[in-house]
Chains A and B, each alone.
Chain A
Amino acid sequence: MTAPSISVSETPLVLYTLRRADDALILGHRLSEWCGHAPMLEEDMALSNMALDLLGQARTFYTYAAAVEGNGNDEDKLAYLRDVRQYRNLLLAELPNGDFAHTMVRQFFYSAFADLYWRAMMTSSDATLAAIAAKSEKESAYHLRHSSEWIVRLGDGTEESHVRAQRAIDDLWAFTGEMFAVDDSERGLIEAGIAADPAALRPAWLGTITAVASEATLVLPGNDWMQQGGRSGRHSEHLGHLLSELQSMQRTFPGATW
């Protein structure tokens, strides 16, 4: 006996909220995989801290999505009982940790975006989203500082760390475009003043990325082909494995309370 997936009525606001919840859960889950295995104890602490921030964001977004949907779902049902095609996170968030450089570049790309995005969302006409954004912005500002410092240390550290950091940038670059993409569902929310327009944030994001990369003696790729699909449930092969682990208990023991 396994627990079946739930169905979710994805109105634009529910879908919007789920996308942010899924970004935070999946990236937080990835970071939590480092706990006990990081390059130094200080990074075990820091990576866990960032994971905890993101998991906290995920919980508030899921709870809000469930409330908006009003179908009796809750944070755990939304997290544990949707399958890979129902997940709405950015592809960037689900990519495996790789080496420490990949983890930090992934965090850097995302946090540089999230920091701008949550700041813009603080003026959302939706009071709940604005409140979550205000809390998330403080957290992402720290994540951006921490990951930027590592990008500089790795890029301008040793020959090996430079090569690894550059490789991580080259590997992950194609996954950054999805952060700025807007579909019809989200366009309506932007026009209604509920959601911020991510496309408008790209120049500022690129400014941050360029400045840090330059200090780190790293080069941003010229290639501008961007992968997309996570927002509509077309994921990489990696997400299914992550979910089978994340969801194993809830799927194995339907309806149990933990």
Chain B
Amino acid sequence: MYTQALNNNSDAADRTIEDAAHTTAFQARIDAEARIEPNDWMPAAYRKTLVRQISQHAHSEIVGMLPEGNWITRAPSLRRKVALLAKVQDECGHGLYLYAAAETLGASREELVDAMLAGKAKYSSIFNYPTLTWADIGVIGWLVDGAAIMNQIPLCRCSYGPYARAMIRVCKEESFHQRQGYEIMLTLCRGSAAQKAMAQDALNRWWWPVLMMFGPPDQASQHGDASTKWKIKRFSNDELRQKFVDATVPQAQYLGLSIPDPGMTQDEEGHWRHGAIDWSEFKQVLAGNGPCNRDRLAARRKAHDDGAWVREAAAAYAEKRKFRQAAQAAE
């Protein structure tokens, strides 16, 4: 669904001395807004940053299937059931697409997935919150996908070609998901008192975690500089967060819902200024202590482990077939 500014590895420390001429030419291409393609020379730190970011993004798509998947079997109408299943399937497609983009940088899907299952790779913290009611499916589409779009639209111009191209398609689908989510909210808010209360409750629970999706405040972000120079990141966490809040407040007003932030004010330029974010909660969720961290990893590990014999069977059959075809050809 989206990638998060979780990046706290110290690339600068790992960076070895690169060929100075290569580096200069590389940066000149980036500065000229040219795309870097898989076979082009690139600094090791650029490659590493991209593999980390793209794989975190892919893991987020796959883990992100779980909270919404939680409602596929209980969707309240056949139309909603089909739309939700198709949406979760889209997320899976995004994951596949992104793993393929990471593979162009020399990282295999298998090793990336293993790192995630081992708890060594991150995914978006938002998916560590539970979906308790149907309204959560509306809020996820409206706000979580809405925040994802804010983050991903600039990535369509990312300097790395395969990632940028993947993002163009992903953004189209996400924007459809967002409208679908908003339409769920609209239906709830025009429905019974119980449905409207369900919508407000979901907004209350998701609002702050969604703001945290943009990552730590700029002064605390350890990572922006290199990514900005390489044109992987084009806006700061706080800039994107502000854009999102400005776009979302009028949408909430239209629904007749209150943003659960008593400190929110509108400044003279028209920007909606949110109150203080509880970053200790964010840190706890990143550290594995969110409400669903254990459940999410357990579900992914179970799917992986239960499916091992199937993957082995497919590989064994493919081997046998290759062998038989070779034997046939030799006859």
Contact = CB atoms under 8 A, between A and B. Distances in A.
B295 to A, nearest CB: 12
A157 interface: yes
Contacts of B132: none
Contact of A45 (B72, B93, B187): B93
Contacts of B76: 249-250, 253, 256, 258
Interface string A85-121: 0000000000000011000000000000000000000
B95 interface: yes
A154 interface: yes
B309 A160 contact: yes
B92 A45 contact: yes
Given A48-B85, A158-B313, A248 B74 contact: yes
Contact of B194 (A33, A52, A248, A253): A253
B158 interface: no
Interface in B253-302: 299, 302
Interface string A142-158: 00000000001110111
Interface stretch (B10-18, B30-38, B314-322): B314-322
B110 to A, nearest CB: 11
Interface stretch (B41-49, B61-69, B149-157, B234-242): B61-69
Interface stretch (A4-12, A35-43, A187-195): A35-43
Contact of B310 (A40, A41, A48, A76): A40
Contacts of A223: none
B88 interface: yes
Interface string A49-65: 10110011011001000
24 contacts: A32-B72, A39-B303, A40-B307, A44-B65, A44-B89, A45-B92, A45-B93, A45-B96, A48-B86, A52-B86, A99-B306, A100-B307, A100-B310, A157-B312, A160-B309, A160-B312, A161-B312, A245-B73, A249-B75, A250-B77, A256-B195, A258-B76, A258-B134, A258-B191
What 6 pairs across the A-B complex have the smallest Cβ distances? A39-B307, A157-B313, A161-B313, A249-B76, A39-B310, A258-B76
Interface of A: 25, 29, 32-33, 35-45, 48-49, 51-52, 55-56, 58-59, 62, 75-76, 79-80, 99-100, 152-154, 156-158, 160-161, 164, 245-246, 248-250, 253, 256-258
